[in-house]
Amino acid sequence: MLVKLNNIIMFALIAFFISRILYPIYISILRKYKLGKTIRETAVTGEKSKIFTKLHEQKKGTPTMWGGIFLLVMGLMIGISYILKDYWWIKNTLFNRQETYVILFGFFSMGLIGLIDDFLNIKWHGTVKWLSAKAKLIGMVVFSAFISRWFYSRLWIDYINLRPIAGKISLGLFYPILTFFITIAIVNAINITDGLDGLAGGLMTLILFVLTVVLFFNQTYIAATVIAIVIAILVAFMFYNINPAKIFMGDSWAFALWGLIASLLYFLNMRTWIILPFIILFGLFIIDLTSSFLQIFWKKYFKRKLFAVAPLHHLFEYRGINETTIVMKAWFIQGLLAAITIIIIFYQMNKILIN
pLDDT tens string 225-249: 999 999 999 999 988 888 787 877 7
Question: What local confidence, expressed as pLDDT, does residue 166 receive?
Answer: 74
Q: Please state, in angstroms and rounded to a whole number, the distance separating the CA atoms of residues 318 and 51.
A: 8
pLDDT tens string 152-163: 887 788 888 887
Residue type, 78: I
CB 65: neighbour CB atoms within 10 A? 27
Could you tell me which residue, 215 or 35, shows the higher pLDDT? 215
* C-alpha separations of 278 from 140, 273, 283, 342 in Å: 21, 9, 8, 10
* H or E element, residue 169: strand 168-170
* C-alpha separations of 327 from 14, 203, 316 in Å: 28, 9, 11
Ranges of each domain in the chain = 2-272
Task: With a cut of 80, say whether residue 18 has pLDDT above it.
Answer: yes
Task: With a cut of 50, say whether residue 130 has pLDDT above it.
Answer: no
- Highest-confidence segment of 98-102, 112-116, 202-206: 202-206
pLDDT tens string 280-327: 999 999 999 999 999 989 988 888 888 888 889 888 988 889 989 999
pLDDT tens string 19-46: 999 988 988 888 887 765 655 555 555 5
Q: Please state, in angstroms and rounded to a whole number, the distance separating the CA atoms of residues 296 and 16.
A: 39
**pTM exceeds 0.85, yes or no:** yes
Task: With a cut of 60, say whether residue 131 has pLDDT above it.
Answer: no
Question: What local confidence, expressed as pLDDT, does residue 87 receive?
Answer: 84
Question: What local confidence, expressed as pLDDT, does residue 305 receive?
Answer: 86
Question: In angstroms, how far is CA 215 from the centroid of its own chain?
Answer: 17
Task: With a cut of 90, say whether residue 90 has pLDDT above it.
Answer: no
| Average pLDDT rounded to a whole number, residues 262-278 | 86
Question: What local confidence, expressed as pLDDT, does residue 135 receive?
Answer: 66
Question: What local confidence, expressed as pLDDT, does residue 303 receive?
Answer: 83
State the first-to-last Cα distance of the chain, in angstroms, to the nearest integer: 24
Residue 159 sits at φ, ψ, to 5 deg, of -135, 160
Question: In angstroms, how far is CA 135 from the centroid of its own chain?
Answer: 19
Task: With a cut of 90, say whether residue 207 has pLDDT above it.
Answer: yes
Task: With a cut of 90, say whether residue 61 has pLDDT above it.
Answer: no
| Average pLDDT rounded to a whole number, residues 320-349 | 92
Task: With a cut of 80, say whether residue 121 has pLDDT above it.
Answer: no
